[in-house]
Amino acid sequence: MFGIGKIADHTVLDNIKQGDEQMLVYLYKQHYQMVKNFVIKNSGDENAADDILQDTVIAVWKNTNKPNFLLQSKLSTYIMAIAKNLWFKELKKRTKFKLVDEANHLEHHKDEMHLDMDQNIIVSLVEQMDETCRRLLFYFYFDGLSTKQIASKLNYANANTVKSKKYQCFKKLQATVISQYKKEDLL
């Protein structure tokens, strides 16, 4: 779709604000070589570069929809800055693991695993939700779309319907998670 030519930065941002997911693919392709070269030069490999770039474009996606977002540089510069930060963070994480002693590492790892496991359970519960509720929560909490935009995308009558539906969906998820936790506690 975006194989030919280059789209202007402001057009890319406008499309992201409209919820055009193809922009993620476009940004990925446009900056893949640049990010890959950087990651490989800094003790990384192609897989790490792939992960970092995916996280980067998703971060751009999320930030663009924030109310106070203002791009003050070229989009490629912004993306590269995010990619660098993410990669250095990842490198720090890796170094930190190497420095801690085995006992501490095991203890720390236990806590982290416990937390991850709890989070994964909630994530899986989110993924099991019905399509409409899941999309609604995604658009509202992650994409940062307004209730009006969500109403348009999900074919709701108006913004109030979206608010009402979002409340219902969130309560439903909350109830499911609480019931799941009790079940886990019982186990």
Partner 1 sequence: MLDSFLSGKLKGRALDKFKIDLKNDASMREALATQKSLIKAVEIARQKELKSFITEELNKTTANTLHPKMRITLASAAAIALIAVAIFSLAPLSQKENKDTVQKEQKIPLTVAEISASDTAIAKPEIVPKEIKQIDTQTLAIVEPIPILEVEPETESIEDYNSNIDYTDTVEESMAFDFADDMSVEEDRYTVNEKPRVATEATSVTEQAEIKDADLIVRSDELLGKKTYTVYAAALNQGNRANATEELTPQSIDKQITQDKKIDAKNDSVQVRGIAVKDLVVEYWQSVVNYTGYQYNGNQLKLYGVDQLATLQFLELDSRLYIKIGGEQYFLENNAKHNRLIQVTNPTLLKVLNE
Between helix 22-41 and helix 75-99 the angle, nearest 10°, is: 50
Looking at residues 12 to 71 of the shown chain, list those that interact with partner 1 (rule: CB under 8 A). 21-22, 24-25, 28-29, 54-55, 57-58, 61
Instruction: Compare residues 21 and 112 and give the one whose CB is closer to partner 1.
Output: 21
Of positions 142, 158, 168, 179, contacts partner 1 by CB under 8 A: 142
Longest Cα separation, the chain:
58
Q: Is there binding between residue 172 and partner 1 (CB under 8 A)? A: no
Instruction: Compare residues 46 and 73 and give the one whose CB is closer to partner 1.
Output: 46
**Contact map string, positions 69 to 108, toward partner 1, x by CB under 8 A:** ----------------------------------------
Rule CB under 8 A: which residues touch partner 1?
3, 21-22, 24-25, 28-29, 54-55, 57-58, 61, 118-119, 122-123, 125-127, 134, 137-138, 141-143, 170, 173-174, 177-178
